[in-house]
Structure 1
Amino acid sequence: LAQAVAAERQAQARVAGLRSTGRLAAQAALSQADATLRAAQAELTRTQQLVGQGFVSESRLDDAQRAVAVAQAQQASARAQIQANEDAGTDVLQAQAQLALARAATAAAHARLAQMQVLAPADARVLVRQVEPGQIVQPGKALMTLALAGPTQLSAQVDERFLDQLQTGQKATVVADAFAGQRFAATVLSIAPSVDAQRGAIEVKFALGGDAPVFLREDMTLSVEVETARRDSALVLPLAALRSTSDGATAAAPDRVEVLVAVQGRAQLRRVRLGLRTLDAAEVLDGLAAGDAVLLGGTPRPDARVRTRVVAWQPGAGATQAAGPDAGAALTNAMGR
């Protein structure tokens, strides 16, 4: 950069010199050439007279004529130099071209110097640094992963089968796997216009209802419960009580599952039809009645004798982990995770 700046200053000085001292020197050279030409012409005139009178030889006349020709050439050269030093003259134009070239070199040097500084596009927090100071990197290599400052947004992949139930503005409840007891509110902000064909899911973004919790981190695993409908009263049971049907109906029709119910000391299999779901509960539309004793935990076989005890449970008090893979699938299908 310093070398390019020095070259630019040198080019500027040359242009300024041609427009000031260069023009003065050219004008002085022209005046001197004019005086030399006048003296040579006077000498030629005297020599011609002397030759005509026979006082000098013809060679002396040739020398005088040669001196006049040289003086005329010097005068023409001085005039040409004056024209070259004008703003439209060749010397000035060439100097200006060199100045433009030097300025371009300086700009290129500044650009290369700027590329040696890594600047964030906006206020952000560095999440991942993939290079060390002094390391040589190739163009296009990711150097850092940033979290831009601004409103926090949550992103979830939701099964496309639930797309008709989602709308922007719907209220949601979010819980982090690492902080299951600390739920916070969110709102559906946007729904992606396209579906991920490989996963059969659609991206849904959520805006927080207030300040972000202090424990919230980038790429943290969250479970999101969107309120797509509301019941003033409903018969519900924990998701942990759900079992896959013996004919695999859960995969084809997730609203049809089975539960074990304690009847006269024995486990009885009941097929139920589900309605609305949350992160830990499901609405029962058919197959159970209020007061039925639904079994949780263990793997008793149908018609096996069971000893039961009442377990206190309140929907929404906390996400209950599913007892089996199908219950986990029900939780995943209920809301993207």
Structure 2
Amino acid sequence: MRAVPYKSIVIIGLVIVIAAFLTFRWWQGPLLPSYTISSMPLVQTVVATGRVVAVSRTEIGSEVAGVVVERLVQEGEQVAVGDLLLSLSSDEVAAQVSQAQAQLAQLTSSTRPQATVDLANAQVALAQASRNVERRRDLAAISAISDEEMEQAIQAQAQTRNDLENARLRANALSAGGVEEDLLRARIAALQAQLDKTQVRSKVSGTILSRTVEIGDLVQPGQGLFTIALDGNTEIRVPLDERNLSRLAVQQEAIAIADAYPDEAFPVRISFIAPSIDPQRGTVEVRLAVDPVPDFLRQDMTVSVNIETDRRLKALVVPNDALANVRGDNAEVWLLREGRVQRQPVTLGLRGLAASEVLSGLSAGDEILVDATLALDNGARVKTTQQSASFANTDEQITTTTSVENQAAGTVN
């Protein structure tokens, strides 16, 4: 019998080894990635985008009509009570003030002294007319003059008495503190107030948010010229999905980050939760108080807020991609036992975009498949390769979040 060539024996041996290896691998099942469940701290938050607003703002306008001749402030500038914002044309009113002041000066230097002189002259004239009447009366007693001459003397005396009364009234009116002076001073005060109104000043302290006027513009009374955010409380207003309402409470702490200053986080807290829901968007307005207010914060800045809604010092954490058939707080995972997989029901606690807390159904150290959607049979053999979850760092807390873009509502899954 002819001997089998050595080369053929080697080939047959290799085929047998390969077949045995493939059979063993088939028996082990497919190679799949898996996670090992562990306990670690867990913080659940809601992340949303809102805007900075001043609690109060006011509009400054002009009380008089006029043309703007000077504007002294720009948007973003800080102003205090009494600061000049702009000036209106005031030539006509200023001329009227000067005219009234000249009339007052004339009253003091000329008209009032003349009235005093006129009063003295009227007193002299009355005394003279009274003496003339007495003389005529003596003459009439001896029929030296006619009755007509006597009547003329009496009429002249009455006229001088009336002239004296008029002079007295005029002197009183023109005296210091009299009616004429009071009227002139009141007119000057009114014109001066009108003149002062051409200087538009801030009635509050705050920051100029907007202006709607330029030099040369004609403004009318009541027209809004500047919008000012009042100094004082500042808050962030955020629309959140109404599904988050049960997780929110007044005084909850949060962290805010302005988009313009991503490295400058600052603390905030919920100060108000709206009592009603926006029916069109399904959101609830939440206001967060800012105290202290960072120097860089500006009105209407876009700000991201991270509201802590719950935390666990120690919790079993499962990546969300390992969950299947999620219904409310119930879900399933592929659990490995002695190289075989089985569907394992679990009960969930805190939940977020990246991971969820497992309240029951798993224990620390359990191994589960990464992909919960794999079409496997219960009891199927699998071979696994361990994966590290991106959040699985036991030295840090895990934050499960939802993000809100473009003012949309944030939700915790």
TM-score by length of 2: 0.53
Instruction: State the partner residue of 1:39.
Output: 132
For the Cα contact (< 8 Å) 1:180–1:318, is it kept in 2? no
| 1:174-189 mapped onto 2 (5 Å cutoff) | 174-177=256-259, 183-188=265-270
Distance 2:214 2:264 in 1: 38
For the Cα contact (< 8 Å) 2:346–2:359, is it kept in 1? yes
DSSP-derived class of the 1:172 partner: strand
Of 288, 292, 310, the match for 1:229: 310
| 1:5-154 mapped onto 2 (5 Å cutoff) | 6-7=99-100, 10=103, 14=107, 21-39=114-132, 41-42=134-135, 45-46=138-139, 49=142, 61=146, 64-81=149-166, 83-85=168-170, 91=173, 99-150=181-232, 152-154=234-236
For the Cα contact (< 8 Å) 2:258–2:301, is it kept in 1? yes
What is the deviation of 1:147? 3.7
Distance 2:252 2:152 in 1: 104
Distance 1:319 1:177 in 2: 21
Distance 1:225 1:173 in 2: 5
Per the alignment, do residues 42 and 138 of structure 1 end up closer, same or farther by CA in structure 2, a change over 3 Å counting? closer
Of 275, 278, 288, the match for 1:205: 288
What is the deviation of 1:44? 6.3
Distance 1:259 1:181 in 2: 40
1:332 aligns with 2:410: yes
Normalized per residue, the structure richer in helix is 1
Of 390, 394, 397, the match for 1:312: 390
Instruction: State the partner residue of 2:80.
Output: none
What is the deviation of 1:78? 3.4
DSSP-derived class of the 1:235 partner: strand
DSSP-derived class of the 1:230 partner: strand
DSSP-derived class of the 1:229 partner: strand
What is the deviation of 1:233? 1.4
Per the alignment, do residues 115 and 24 of structure 1 end up closer, same or farther by CA in structure 2, a change over 3 Å counting? closer
Per the alignment, do residues 98 and 145 of structure 1 end up closer, same or farther by CA in structure 2, a change over 3 Å counting? same
Distance 1:71 1:134 in 2: 66
What is the deviation of 1:232? 0.7
What is the letter of the counterpart of residue 28 of structure 1? N
Distance 2:398 2:259 in 1: 15
For the Cα contact (< 8 Å) 1:181–1:318, is it kept in 2? no
Instruction: State the partner residue of 2:248.
Output: 166
For the Cα contact (< 8 Å) 1:225–1:278, is it kept in 2? no
Instruction: State the partner residue of 2:237.
Output: 155
Q: Which runs of 5+ in 2 are unaligned?
A: 1-92, 337-341, 377-384
What is the deviation of 1:203? 2.8
Distance 1:270 1:122 in 2: 66
What is the deviation of 1:38? 1.7
What is the deviation of 1:171? 1.9
For the Cα contact (< 8 Å) 1:125–1:146, is it kept in 2? yes
Per the alignment, do residues 44 and 165 of structure 1 end up closer, same or farther by CA in structure 2, a change over 3 Å counting? same
What is the letter of the counterpart of residue 226 of structure 2? M
Deviations 1:198-220 (A, max 9, x none): 45413322224x56274x43322
For the Cα contact (< 8 Å) 2:324–2:373, is it kept in 1? no
Per the alignment, do residues 39 and 129 of structure 1 end up closer, same or farther by CA in structure 2, a change over 3 Å counting? closer
Per the alignment, do residues 68 and 162 of structure 1 end up closer, same or farther by CA in structure 2, a change over 3 Å counting? same
For the Cα contact (< 8 Å) 1:261–1:293, is it kept in 2? yes
Distance 1:140 1:242 in 2: 64
Distance 1:269 1:107 in 2: 91
Deviations 1:97-129 (A, max 9, x none): 555554454444344444433433433332333
Q: Relative contact order, CA 8 A, sep 6+: which one is greater?
A: 2
